[in-house]
Chain A
Amino acid sequence: MPITKEAFETQVMAILGRLHGVASRLTRNDADAEDLVAETIARAWRARDSLTSPIAFQAWIFRILNNTFISDRRRASVRGQAEPIEDAELDDSHPFSIFERLHQPFLLWFANPEQEFLDKLLRDDVDRALAALPERYRVVVIMADMEDLKYAEIAETLKIPIGTVRSRLARARAALQETLWTLAHERGIEVSHAPKH
């Protein structure tokens, strides 16, 4: 039985914050994020017969959001309104790891500089580091970490091999951590027991 209008509305309103949160990181623009969320909800309503079970609603509507973003993005790129999605490459010759910078195996058991570092980061630091990633890397991080998608689902959505998902994620996470490291130092974040660099 297709989802009722009332149930659809309730489900949408329950996850609207997450839909908008993901949309605004994908588009990096408030107006485009709003359009993407509205278009996603309209498409989802038209495709409501394809929702197999009410408990699958969230995964189902996020799949529609991702596909809508990708197709809008490709259309804009064909029209010359945006750069193609295949943008800058990230160098992975020296992958950066905050953990490797901070972790000290011989500290007292209660000392945890890497966790202390994370605790001192602001939400805005994480947001800025994510926004700084080239688009094709940002998209895989959003799908893997914000949407909690499996590698196979990301590969299917982006029409790329699963090995490419793995390598892009690894490069993206290293670059993200390097930006977080820089932002933290700009803000003067200090971590006790951290090794000197």
Chain B
Amino acid sequence: MAVNDIDCALALTRLIELVDRELDDADREVVERHLQTCRSCLSRAEFERALKGKLRGLSNEDVPTKTLDRITVLLQEF
């Protein structure tokens, strides 16, 4: 194991921060290097990223007509 390599237990504690883009460049590089060699941790990172994407996808929705009408009127008042 190289000096900066980490094991799965440590990688797991940092995975969610990787997905949340909370790691600095050095830490991100260490975790990503682990993911290149560990299929299980890579799958976990992909899973967490996909679940986060599902939540983000909730905000892509049509605005109800009533709300749209109200906002249109509001914008005309400015």
B60 and A17 within 8 A (CB): yes
Could you tell me if A8 and B58 are in contact, using CB atoms closer than 8 angstroms? Answer: no
Summed over the interface, the residue pairs from A and B with CB atoms below 8 Å come to a total of: 100
Contact A5 B63 (CB under 8 A): no
Known: A105-B39, A170-B16. A37 touches B55 (CB 8 A): no
Q: What distance in Å separates the Cβ of B53 from its nearest Cβ neighbour in chain A?
A: 9
Number of interface residues of A (CB under 8 A): 44
21 contacts between A and B (CB under 8 A): A8-B78, A12-B71, A16-B63, A17-B59, A17-B60, A17-B62, A17-B63, A20-B67, A21-B58, A34-B66, A41-B74, A99-B48, A105-B40, A112-B43, A118-B51, A123-B57, A126-B54, A147-B59, A151-B22, A169-B16, A169-B20
Partner of A114, one of B43, B66, B70: B43
Partner among A21, A37, A141 whose Cβ is within 8 Å of the Cβ of B61 = A21
Q: Which secondary structure dominates where chain A touches chain B?
A: helix
- A83 sits at the interface (CB 8 A): no
Given contacts A12-B75, A41-B74, A145-B52, contact A18 B59 (CB under 8 A): yes
Q: Assess whether A127 is in contact with B78, with CB atoms less than 8 Å apart.
A: no
- What residues of A have a CB within 8 angstroms of the CB of B54 in the complex? 118, 121, 123, 126
The 8 A CB mask of B31-70 against A (1 = contact, 0 = none) is: 0000000011001101110111011111111111011101
